[in-house]
Amino acid sequence: MTLRTLSLPVRVLFSCFLLTTGMGYLFAVLYLFLIDVEPHAKQGVGMVQAVIVKYYGQRGGTKLEAALDGAMGDNLTQTQKRQIINWIRRGAMEADFASVQSIFLDQCASCHSKQSGLPISPLTTYEEVTAYAQMDMGESIKRLIKVSHIHIFGMSFIFILTGGIFVLSEVPVRWRALLVAIPFAAIWIDIGSWWFTKVEPLFAYTVIIGGVLMGLALAAQILLSLHEMWLKKHF
Ligand code: HEC
């Protein structure tokens, strides 16, 4: 059984599905562009940077770091400064605050406390310090889990159907095997890289590579299948 020899109703059904899926994919790309790429492009930020901002966040430039780079850091040793910055980079978490609290109490509280009587913000408790250490950490873990599972289920459904149609084509068997596997590999690369980018911005490139690979493989499956069903000579 090949695509060419399928009965007319089956070919119509398959074709309707392939065209509709292709349309759905174009809308997905358009959505991605309008939400994640274009708003950044307007500010002169490229696509890789946009992906980094989305998953990794913007981790530089909290008020606390800026203050430490200026005059407020003068009383600190390099090691103390690094300890505070590392605490911020780890997410400025309360569970972790004990590791740096003594620095604030010893080096900052003489001025930054309610007792000092100065009209500046106190920096003695976690709540007081964290207000100056807020950082954009990118997509939250909860949201990543949600978006990942929806995409993994949804896309594997799409690709078993488009791949299931495409395996009936007359493309050489090794190429067929490769082309049905690529979208699944691309799902792993793309979605896996969302998670890796959260830790290491360099993976923004593999997010994009995975996405492009998926799009190309889907387009190839759809176009080759349609071509064989309607344009190749029939017996
Ligand atoms: C000698 C007194 C003194 C010490 C010690 C001191 N600060 Fe300050 N700090 C000030 C004053 C005064 C200001 C306000 C300066 C201004 O508004 O220009 C300030 C401002 C700041 C701000 C900015 C607050 C804002 O609203 O933007 C931060 C953050 C800060 N200090 C952190 C620290 C940290 C962290 C330490 C300890 C490593 C520290 N400071 C030690 C006097 C001090």
Cβ of 5 closer than 6 Å to ligand 1, yes or no, is no
Nearest to 203 by CA among 165, 211, 84: 211
d(CA 72, CA 63): 11
Cβ of 111 closer than 6 Å to ligand 1, yes or no, is yes
Who's near 203: CB < 8 A, 6+ residues apart?
193, 196, 197
Nearest to 160 by CA among 176, 129, 128, 183: 183
In this structure, are residues 184 and 215 in contact, taking their beta carbons and an 8 Å threshold?
A: no
* CA 66 to ligand 1 centroid distance, Å: 11
pLDDT (tens, 9 = 90+) of the chain, 235 residues, equals: 899 989 999 999 999 999 999 999 999 999 988 888 888 787 778 888 888 888 888 776 788 988 888 888 888 999 999 999 999 888 889 999 999 999 999 999 999 999 998 889 999 999 999 989 887 788 889 999 999 999 999 999 999 999 999 999 999 999 999 999 999 999 999 999 999 999 999 999 999 999 999 999 999 999 999 999 998 775 5
User: According to the model, what pLDDT value does residue 214 have?
Assistant: 95
Who's near 114: CB < 8 A, 6+ residues apart?
122
In this structure, are residues 183 and 218 in contact, taking their beta carbons and an 8 Å threshold?
A: yes
Cβ of 110 closer than 6 Å to ligand 1, yes or no, is yes
User: According to the model, what pLDDT value does residue 1 have?
Assistant: 84
In this structure, are residues 18 and 162 in contact, taking their beta carbons and an 8 Å threshold?
A: yes
d(CA 113, CA 124): 6
